[in-house]
A and B are shown apart, each in its own frame.
Chain A
Amino acid sequence: MGSVLEDKILALCRQHPEGLPEALLAQHIPATERENVTNSMLTKHKLRVLRNGKDGSFAYQEVSHEEANKMKGVSAEDLLVYQYIGQAGNLGIWTKDLKNKSNLQQPQITKILRTLESRALVKSVKSVINPSRKVYMLYDLEPARELTGGAWYTDQDFDAEFIHILQQACQKYIDNEGEATLEEVADFIRTKGFSRVELRDEDVLCILRTLEFDGLVESFVSDDGEMYRPAKYRVPKTSAFTSIPCGICPVINDCSDDGVISPATCMYYKAWLDF
């Protein structure tokens, strides 16, 4: 009897992969009949309960066979922590937040996390924003760009070299083309395969903005929208001021005629005049 009902409930769950509402289940199976069966299925990790945030109603969702195997022998506290981690999605959750939400003690949470990690149910990810914080998320999820830093980070480290290569490529393309739109530059970068991760238009826009601030390209508005071209106004290559040691002197503020640092005895001047 129980097995027949279990199969019926699982069949209904498969028809509603986003979650079988309690009210719909009640239409097919009366509460008195299903009460024990659903409890048993929940204990065996064949079902999970979801709660609708709007009206507070419950819904049931089938747990896959592999997942059920992984969850075998998991305690109620473990499950609670697992659910909070699941709710955090691909942004992950910090242990301190887990402690606040679950009202469990820190050592207990640490132990639970170790268990869940050993069962490959959750994983820890380091955030590029707060490298000292480890956040937890479900094992199968891909960490969000906010956590990994997107294309600009490799193994949590800022990849300045990669950015420099992209800058050079973008500048060369604009110099060769004379004028180019963001989409054209982005297509060029994608087709040349500079990056292992997919670069979005916004990522290429960030690179173009840095080129603008470097004074190498400039943007202008044309009939085709915003376009980029080599900068007309370039910073002079040499300056009469910085070609003198004082122009780049790190201790110019401490320099005086009768001080320890003085133009008459300046080492930088000596090196400059010694030709």
Chain B
Amino acid sequence: MVHCSPQRRRLCSSLIKEFFGDTVERICSVLVARGQQTLPEVVHASSLPAPTVRSALLVLLQHNFVVPELVKPDADLRAAPPPYYLYHADTGAIIQMLRMPRILQHVQRDYGGPCESDMAMQIIEVLLAHGRLRLGQIVAAVAARLGKPEGEVWGELHPRFISLVNSRHVERVPPADLPLPKPRAHGKPQGKKKAEPKEGSKEKAEQEAEQVRKLAQKSYSDERFQLPIELLFGAAAPKAAKPAARAKRKRDEGGDGGGQEPEGSTSQPLWRVNFEEFNCRLRDEACAEHIAEMHGREPAALVAAMLRHAAQQPGGGRADAEVSGAVSAAAAAEQLAQMRRRQPELPMLTINAASRILCELAEDARSGVKRVGLQEAFFVDLCAITKAMRQMHIEAIVRDRFPPIGMRVFRLLTAKKQLEQKQVADYAMVPVRDARELLYRMLRAGFLTLQDVPRTADHAASRTLYTWRVDAAAVTRRVGEELLQTAANLRARLHRELTEHGEVLARVEAGDPVLLPRERAEVGRVSRMSALLETRLIALDPLIALFHR
């Protein structure tokens, strides 16, 4: 689970409250604030009636904002308690709600023509709105949106759904009893290989449990993007037994584990949007844009083609990958030619031209493109590009937030690691007094760190050197939290403006033709403000994604 800061908690609460109301928000806040909880614990902590908590939890499970974990106590115990579920709030998935406009934009761009993209967008929109649905429910929901009969929609939806699953945009919902990945200690050194634990020992039991966990995860990853056979062979439209909402209600009565299948319906899997794939694609687009700014259009198109090609290979397209898979210049050129069919604005490059451009990029250590040994294959260092992008944005923030010499001092300390106040003033060529004021201002804002180097054991201030430095990890973390705070602030302001002018807006919505000129001006002003706030919120999302990767 992701560490949950107050800023992240506030943004999650704000999003859940807007889309699902106060009760669901309360349950979500309990889970976010207290970590993993059982149902009775959530009931106790929220002080709400058990059925209400249960319903709210089911809403969160339906929308994939809460992840269930089945805990099976040791069966060997004489009086072993029954298995129970622990619920984790997935704050990353909640924050993904901010990304919905970009996801839809990406689908529209990726699926070419207006008809095609329309249906792909309908499927994704339906899944985003309902969280997880069976295919029949998707067909019914899309048909309801388009106002057409299900049979008519099925012909167009069927191939589009298959391509969305094949391109990993849509995935099967993991089973409710899928064990969560075991958390690993950060940077823990590999110890000596331990001897095989004895039969019946605790270590042996842990080892077996780990093997079961891996097996279950492998089983899910094998079927994650597997289409039902009847779908591949052009079966008729699956019947949505009940409308999505009714089906959900029925399922809620079945048990408290999300995604649990009622008896006899296992042939129809649940589907959801695969945010990991979208995040990967958006990250790859951001990397290509960065290359375009630094090196131009052709290198950027090649890098985009390399990333696309690498993602299509087995094991590629992972959100946490630090580098892409190796791609030859020929494969990149071929991929680019394929991409040109959908995006004719992309440049056309021969294999020789692609090879030359990639060699040039690989020679520039800062480009993020590297050569594999002495071969004619290249890979993209996603970690390095992401780091460079973050650094550039941090520098832009420093430039805009502090006096002009602020960025100079920040870059100086980033390059020189540790400097005393006098050295900072000398290198930056600023008066010592100005340097001192700026350094303390940047320290207070969290962009610099002060390190004391005592010359004597008593740590007396008069015999201590004080050096200034940039703690890159801390600055990245801080900017990331400020971005979440800003997103929550934008939403809070938008909410306030809409509430304040709610009366007149309600009249406009109701189609009241009699509006005074003052009221008309008020409506115009609120529309402009809400448009600005929403636009800025969408523009902020790429930065949130960059700093919370």
Interface assignment of B215: CB less than 8 Å from any CB of chain A: no
Which residues of chain A (226-275) have a CB below 8 Å from chain B? Answer: 232-233, 235-236, 238-244, 246-248, 252, 255, 257, 262-264, 266, 269, 273, 275
Q: Are B415 and A242 in contact (CB under 8 A)?
A: no
Tell me which residues across on chain A come within 8 A of B496, comparing CB atoms. Answer: 263-264
Interface assignment of A165: CB less than 8 Å from any CB of chain B: no
From known contacts A160-B430, A239-B396, A264-B496, infer whether A247 and B411 are also in contact, taking CB-CB under 8 Å: no
Interface assignment of A83: CB less than 8 Å from any CB of chain B: no
Q: Which of A215, A238, A247, A266 contacts B401 (CB 8 A)?
A: A247
Tell me which residues across on chain A come within 8 A of B366, comparing CB atoms. Answer: 233
Q: Are B493 and A266 in contact (CB under 8 A)?
A: yes
Q: Considering only CB atoms and an 8 Å cut-off, how many residues of chain A contact the other chain? A: 35
CB distance from A108 to the nearest CB of B (A): 31
Which residues of chain B (506-543) have a CB below 8 Å from chain A? Answer: 528-529, 532-533, 536, 539-540, 542-543
Q: Which of B407, B489, B533 contacts A215 (CB 8 A)?
A: B407
Tell me which residues across on chain B come within 8 A of A206, comparing CB atoms. Answer: 429
Interface assignment of B294: CB less than 8 Å from any CB of chain A: yes
Cα separation A243 to B538 with both chains bound (whole Å): 13
Tell me which residues across on chain B come within 8 A of A215, comparing CB atoms. Answer: 395, 407, 411
Q: Are B540 and A241 in contact (CB under 8 A)?
A: yes
Q: Are B294 and A232 in contact (CB under 8 A)?
A: yes
Q: Which of B388, B482, B532, B539 contacts A246 (CB 8 A)?
A: B482
The size bracket of the interface on B is: 35 or more
Tell me which residues across on chain B come within 8 A of A182, comparing CB atoms. Answer: none
Q: Which of B411, B483, B493 contacts A241 (CB 8 A)?
A: B483
Tell me which residues across on chain B come within 8 A of A235, comparing CB atoms. Answer: 392, 395-396, 399, 407
CB distance from A226 to the nearest CB of B (A): 15
Interface assignment of A173: CB less than 8 Å from any CB of chain B: no
Interface assignment of A106: CB less than 8 Å from any CB of chain B: no
Q: Are A244 and B407 in contact (CB under 8 A)?
A: no
From known contacts A240-B542, A263-B492, A273-B532, infer whether A213 and B431 are also in contact, taking CB-CB under 8 Å: no
Q: Are A244 and B408 in contact (CB under 8 A)?
A: no
Interface assignment of B485: CB less than 8 Å from any CB of chain A: yes
Q: Are A241 and B393 in contact (CB under 8 A)?
A: yes
CB distance from B540 to the nearest CB of A (A): 5
Q: Are B482 and A236 in contact (CB under 8 A)?
A: no
Interface assignment of A207: CB less than 8 Å from any CB of chain B: yes
| Chain B residue nearest in CB terms to A252 | B482
Interface assignment of A25: CB less than 8 Å from any CB of chain B: no
Tell me which residues across on chain B come within 8 A of A255, comparing CB atoms. Answer: 485, 489
CB distance from A130 to the nearest CB of B (A): 11
Q: Which of A163, A213, A248 contacts B411 (CB 8 A)?
A: A213
| Chain A residue nearest in CB terms to B492 | A263
| Chain A residue nearest in CB terms to B490 | A244
Tell me which residues across on chain A come within 8 A of B479, comparing CB atoms. Answer: 241
Q: Are B485 and A247 in contact (CB under 8 A)?
A: no
| Chain B residue nearest in CB terms to A209 | B427
Interface assignment of A152: CB less than 8 Å from any CB of chain B: yes
Cα separation A63 to B529 with both chains bound (whole Å): 85
Tell me which residues across on chain A come within 8 A of B529, comparing CB atoms. Answer: 273
Q: Are B428 and A239 in contact (CB under 8 A)?
A: no
Interface assignment of B18: CB less than 8 Å from any CB of chain A: no
Q: Are A247 and B429 in contact (CB under 8 A)?
A: no
Q: Are A213 and B393 in contact (CB under 8 A)?
A: no
Q: Are A242 and B430 in contact (CB under 8 A)?
A: no
Tell me which residues across on chain A come within 8 A of B540, comparing CB atoms. Answer: 240-241, 244
Cα separation A252 to B427 with both chains bound (whole Å): 31
Cα separation A238 to B293 with both chains bound (whole Å): 13
Interface assignment of B15: CB less than 8 Å from any CB of chain A: no
Q: Are B493 and A269 in contact (CB under 8 A)?
A: yes
Interface assignment of A183: CB less than 8 Å from any CB of chain B: no
Chain A 140-170 interface mask (CB, 8 Å, partner B; 1/0): 0000000000001000001010010000000
Q: Are A233 and B489 in contact (CB under 8 A)?
A: no
Interface assignment of A210: CB less than 8 Å from any CB of chain B: yes
Cα separation A233 to B366 with both chains bound (whole Å): 9
Chain A 200-234 interface mask (CB, 8 Å, partner B; 1/0): 00000011011001110000000000000000110
Tell me which residues across on chain B come within 8 A of A160, comparing CB atoms. Answer: 430-431
Q: Which of A236, A244, A248 contacts B536 (CB 8 A)?
A: A244
Q: Which of A207, A233, A242, A266 contacts B397 (CB 8 A)?
A: A242
Residues of chain A having any CB pair with chain B under 8 Å = 152, 158, 160, 163, 206-207, 209-210, 213-215, 232-233, 235-236, 238-244, 246-248, 252, 255, 257, 262-264, 266, 269, 273, 275
Give 5 A-B pairs besides A158-B430, A263-B492 with Cβ atoms closer than 8 angstroms: A210-B429, A213-B408, A242-B401, A263-B488, A263-B493
Residues of chain B having any CB pair with chain A under 8 Å = 10, 293-294, 366, 388, 392-393, 395-397, 399-401, 407-409, 411-412, 415, 427-431, 479, 482-483, 485-486, 488-490, 492-493, 495-497, 528-529, 532-533, 536, 539-540, 542-543
What are 17 A-B contacts defined by CB distance under 8 Å?
A: A213-B411, A213-B427, A213-B428, A214-B411, A243-B539, A244-B536, A246-B485, A246-B486, A247-B397, A247-B401, A257-B492, A263-B488, A263-B492, A263-B493, A264-B493, A266-B493, A269-B489
